[in-house]
Structure 1
Amino acid sequence: MKTIKAFAPATVANVSCGFDILGFALEGMGDWVTVTERESPGLEVISIQGDGGKLPYDSDKNTCTVAIQAMIDELGINPGIEIQLEKGLPLGSGMGSSAASAVAALVAANELLGNPFQKNELLPFAIAAEKVACGAGHADNVGPSLLGGFVLIRDYHLLDVIKLPVPEELHCVLLHPHYQLNTADSRSVLRDQIPLRHATIQSGNVAGLVTGLFQGDFDLISRSLRDVIAEPYRAVLIPGFYEVREAIKAAGALGMGISGSGPTLFVLCKGSAPIPGIITAAQEVFESIGLGVDAYHSAINTRGAHIL
């Protein structure tokens, strides 16, 4: 029986001012999915590794099977596929864990079925899986995990997704404090309405960040990494947030924000030289409040999900 294995990278969603509309992919970290054809029709998850026994095998709840089911429903077929998931990302970490699983499954299954869809055409099926995992069909994790690089979701109704350029020297540090933060809690603190002045500031920062990426203007990127809509409410849920932000800026970072719904923080910097100092500064802050922290360094992954 034919077997295909695919990898999908971790992601950072929101990217400060880009709440629900911006995300980027990371190097090295991610999930692996292996799919194997079988004679009997239907989808079945036969093994999950690296999740501590927390993820469901139920085809209606696992993001791998939900994504593949959406794809084969579009094709009007019912093939037999066995799925093996290897988690390389911690659950509920703000690194796009559920998105990476769904995207890797789609890329592998699409290859298994003879590539009936172009890569970008798989995005709606990944969004369907995000609805099951997160309760909302956001694309700021699945988009960059699938396509790589920085991705802008200009419109959800028409699903207008644009891949943005990435300056070569742009690097990212992820800071994952040893602290549990539920996505539901992060969502619950957000406001349904925002003042006009905040909408104006946020729009300017999104435009500035996108322009900075196109022009390779790191000073503009740094000035634009400011969120006045979600971060003020979410930051209070992450111990040491403001202290870490000041410390990493003093260490040479361009800026910092909450990755997804947290508690992971992302830090952007120009080149790799400031990274040791950034990590040390963050560790010192978290240690001072009794929290350990895992730090990861990555360039921006411009390849996205791919077959192994």
Structure 2
Amino acid sequence: MEKDCVHVFAPATVANMVCGFDVLGFALDEPGDEVFIRKVDRPGVHLVNVSGDNGRLPREASKNTVSASVMSFLNHIGQADIGVEIALHKQMPIGSGLGSSAASTVAGLFAVNTLLGNPLSRRELLPFAIQGEELACGHGHADNVAPALLGGITLIRGYDPLDVVAIPVPQSLYASVVFPHVDVPTRDARQMIRSKVALKDAVTQWGNIAGLVAGLFSSDYELIGRSMHDVLIEPTRAILIPEFREMRRIAIDSGALGFGISGSGPSVFAFSTSQETARKITSVIQAQLTQQGIDSNGYVSGINAGGPHVIKNSDTND
């Protein structure tokens, strides 16, 4: 049954998972973004409000990832002539390395699909979410949008054709996430990556990715921890993140299985096997940053298995 309006939350995500550059990612319980969408009589997609972004995001519907993705979706299903109004409420930091644009895009697509009675499955929505990522950061990768849309941990096996694999989530796996208030633009971080790597380093990386996936399938926490090492990307990107090596040291000393950069940074994350340990890790990392005069946001989360969800279906924007 179609509704007149829908209110949706979509979660932040951690991409790469240390060694899985551009192929692995998982969804968090918090933070995330919210989108409110309603049917209106005037045709077209109208972006009527964007809040929480300090004026940083485009207000033109064709240039904002949320509304532009909704336009593509409506064209695809043959309903480009209907009218919808979209309000985006940013509740997570932009440029944090936590999939900010992915959360917004997924929230918009999930909302409009729900509004129209779910003509597409979640997996069928994924190509439109990837288009949104391309608009946002110039690269149409799925390592953020796939877990944000599908929930859990996802592996992007390939793009031609698109092949996304759900990875089992061990029962006692928790994430500590800290966003230091420093600026590391995604495009700048990507430009630092080497275009050629030594074969021995590639082999090491393949072994770590395979070990991490095997550890997740078997709930082997020791294997997960010893596989969370990146010899290709992290050594370069870590330079951009103040206190990175010290944060990793104190996280491991506090019981983390492994530690690394979330996406392109500056956010960092650690895995642990209890919520209590995860809280401790978040606390000690934030304390270290505070000592260095760096403000931060901290989060403790399980792996979000559900992805986006409807907050409220109603006929008003209250």
**What TM-score does the superposition give when structure 1 sets the normalisation length?**
0.97
1:255 aligns with one of 253, 258, 267:
258
CA distance in 2, matches of 1:207, 1:129: 29
Runs (5+) with no aligned partner, structure 1: none
Contact 2:234/2:261 (CA < 8 Å) preserved in 1? yes
Match for residue 56 of structure 1 among 55, 58, 67: 58
CA distance in 2, matches of 1:44, 1:198: 49
Q: RMSD between aligned alpha carbons?
A: 1.2
Q: Which residue of 2 aligns with 1:140?
A: 143
Give the C-alpha shift of residue 285 in structure 1: 2.7
Residues matched between the structures, number: 308
Q: Which moved more, 1:66-75 or 1:242-251?
A: 66-75
Q: Does 1:202 align with 2:217?
A: no
CA distance in structure 2 between the partners assigned to 1:202 and 1:231 by the alignment:
11
Q: The residue matched to 2:42 in structure 1 has which SS?
A: coil
Match of 2:71 among 69, 82, 90: 69
Helix, strand or coil at the partner of 2:251: helix
Matched ranges for 1:151-170 at <5 A: 151-170=154-173
Structure 1 equivalent of residue 300 of structure 2? 297
Deviations 1:35-74 (A, max 9, x none): 1111221101001111112111112211111111121221
C-alpha separation in 2, matches of 1:221 and 1:276: 20
2:19–2:229 Cα contact (<8 Å) kept: yes
Deviation at 1:243, TM superposition (A): 1.1
Partner of 2:125: helix, strand, or coil? Answer: helix
SS of match in other structure, 2:276: coil
2-side partners of 1:294 and 1:80: how far apart? Answer: 38
SS of 1:53's equivalent in the other structure is: coil
Q: Does the aligned pair in 1 maintain the 2:193–2:233 contact within 8 Å?
A: yes
* Deviation larger for 175-184 or 218-227: 175-184
> C-alpha distance in 2, partners of 1:180/1:168?
34
Indicate the residue corresponding to 2:268 in structure 1: 265
Q: Does 1:107 align with 2:110?
A: yes
**From 221, 225, 230, the counterpart of 1:227:** 230
Letter in 2 for 1:98: S
Question: Does the residue aligned with 1:28 lie in a helix, a strand or coil?
Answer: strand
- In the superposition, the TM-score normalised over structure 2's length comes to 0.94
The answer to whether the 8 A contact 2:279-2:300 is kept is no
Q: Sequence identity, in percent? A: 47
Correspondences of 1:112-123 after superposition (within 5 Å): 112-123=115-126
Q: How much does 1:247 deviate?
A: 1.0
The alpha carbon displacement at 1:284 in A equals: 3.7
